[in-house]
Amino acid sequence: MGTSLKPAHIDLPASPRPDPNHADCRGVGSVLSRVGDKWSVFVIMMLGGGPRRFNELKRMINGISQRMLTLTLRGLERDGLVTRTIFPTIPPRVDYELTDLGRGLSQPVEALGKWAMDHLAQIEAARTRFDQRNET
């Protein structure tokens, strides 16, 4: 007897419908990628104390370039977390400040930043141990 070319497993379940509990995963993912970005975390932490000017933020956030700070502020403004206010002075003065939505995010972001600082030595030690075990 030969091999049958007739499909044997034809009773397949219907395609699963998306779980309504997971329908917003992409949207939430885009929000988490914004607020989880290291520069966004630093900007939100620095603005937690009140409005700041661009150059003040740049001085406060070690290692951020002017371009990256501009992009980060623009993204946070687009997401409704930061407002940009231009004062009609010469030269023009621009302040950045957390919105109500941004202030609501400030506390968990600051807690995350504090946790990272408090556990930095432990994490670095774990990385060193891991790297030493996995050297080949």
* Domain boundary assignment for the chain: 27-133
pTM: 0.72
Residues above pLDDT 90, as percent of the chain: 55
Q: Token match 């937690």: residue? A: 48
Strand 82-87 and strand 93-98: the pairing is antiparallel
Which one, of 88, 57, 93, 50, lies nearest residue 73 by Cα?
57
Model confidence over 6-64: pLDDT tens digits?
555 555 555 555 566 666 677 777 777 777 788 999 999 999 999 999 999 999 999 99
Average pLDDT, the chain: 85
What angle in degrees, to the nearest 10, is found between the helix axes of 25-35 and 38-47?
A: 70
Alpha-carbon Rg for the chain in angstroms:
24
Q: Round to whole Å and give the CA distance between 21 and 81.
A: 25
CA-to-CA distance for 22 and 16, rounded, in angstroms?
A: 13
27-133 fold: Arc Repressor Mutant, subunit A (1.10.10)
Kindly state the tokens that stand for 59.
Answer: 């001085």
Confidence band, pLDDT 50/70/90 cuts, at residue 2: low
Residue 121 clears pLDDT 70, i.e. is over it: yes
The answer to whether the bond into 92 is cis (omega within 30° of 0) is no
pLDDT value of position 30:
75
Q: How many CB atoms lie within 10 A of CB 10?
A: 6
Mean pLDDT to the nearest integer, 95-120: 91
